[in-house]
Structure 1
């Protein structure tokens, strides 16, 4: 494993908490349930409560109906017709209640693919700020968090992954990705607990 913890200095007013896809559609009763989601919500709440005005939530918006989407997304939504808006309803894309209560002042950016950088909404939001560092929480570690982290790295942001505030439906790939983040991206990614983030974010 690479270096652990906050190793590149304190976090200040140019830090942002970016919480990825903590939505009802990944909770109990839905086809895409992420078993750890409920476990990490209270930890994410701590970070939101400390810095609600510096928090942005992303939401993954599925296709309206089976087969919709560009290229392979059409095949994806034929396979996952049960998770289209037609089947799960619009309320499913809402944030889980414990986190939705932080909006406002927290803001929301919607996306239709894994990465929140592809459709321009997040870039436009951050262009109005002096953000230099991004603390990442949410799910899934090995899908949407991965896409979010790589996009942030490419844009030159300092990325801090909150280890106890990330979740996945696969333990194996979660562990593999945490190892990847801390070994292959050690100059651009820091891996720390929410408690350590809070101690360093003044």
Structure 2
């Protein structure tokens, strides 16, 4: 498959026992490792980091999760595994990682293979932004994990409704 892998927020704050723990994080990480090996080009890895300004509704969001009001250099924001050599890394204080920086890496007409956490938040938001910008998105079911299994399945069902702009596939469909 001629596509670019985009891995969303595979960070300690989502794997460790925190308020944002994603229960199937390690399973998604295993699937992402398979994707890394099967796709020829280096991937793009994103990190969610708290915006210091907490503009608008973000302040209320962090009021709900005060233990996540951490500086950008806090180890909780670190990747669990460092991205492979040659990969791009992008930080963003937003759920959606889609924006000018990622758009520059995924030209119109190129397919983006999307993986990471959480399916029902940052993966979903990123997929919607990319689709709105006219990009083809492939979400790999096993390479994502949600806050709960139910939330994961619901997010994937929503994304499947966007076919053919967004496809939800199994890991075997991508790695063969």
- Specify whether residues 101 and 117 from structure 1 end up closer, same or farther in structure 2 by C-alpha distance, changes over 3 A only: closer
For residues 116 and 101 of structure 1, the distance between their equivalents in structure 2, rounded to whole angstroms, comes to: 17
Matched-pair contact (CA < 8 Å) for 1:52–1:106: no
- Specify whether residues 101 and 138 from structure 1 end up closer, same or farther in structure 2 by C-alpha distance, changes over 3 A only: closer
- The reply on whether 1:75 has 2:54 as its aligned counterpart is no
CA displacement at 1:49 relative to structure 2: 2.6
CA displacement at 1:52 relative to structure 2: 6.6
Matched-pair contact (CA < 8 Å) for 2:45–2:83: no
- Specify whether residues 178 and 125 from structure 1 end up closer, same or farther in structure 2 by C-alpha distance, changes over 3 A only: closer
1:39 equivalent in structure 2: 27
2:148 equivalent in structure 1: 170
- The reply on whether 1:92 has 2:76 as its aligned counterpart is yes
For residues 54 and 69 of structure 1, the distance between their equivalents in structure 2, rounded to whole angstroms, comes to: 32
- Specify whether residues 101 and 144 from structure 1 end up closer, same or farther in structure 2 by C-alpha distance, changes over 3 A only: closer
CA displacement at 1:189 relative to structure 2: 1.5
Matched-pair contact (CA < 8 Å) for 2:42–2:87: yes
1:7 equivalent in structure 2: none
Gapped regions of structure 2 (runs ≥ 5): none
- The reply on whether 1:17 has 2:5 as its aligned counterpart is yes
Matched-pair contact (CA < 8 Å) for 1:20–1:138: yes
1:105 equivalent in structure 2: 86
Calculate the TM-score normalised by the size of structure 1.
0.79
Calculate the TM-score normalised by the size of structure 2.
0.90
SS in 1 for 2:116: strand
Matched-pair contact (CA < 8 Å) for 1:63–1:85: no
Q: 1:137 aligns with which of 115, 118, 136?
A: 115
CA displacement at 1:122 relative to structure 2: 1.6
The within-5 A match list for 1:150-161 is: 150-161=128-139
For residues 162 and 8 of structure 2, the distance between their equivalents in structure 1, rounded to whole angstroms, comes to: 20
- The reply on whether 1:194 has 2:171 as its aligned counterpart is yes
Q: Aligned Cα RMSD in Å? A: 2.0
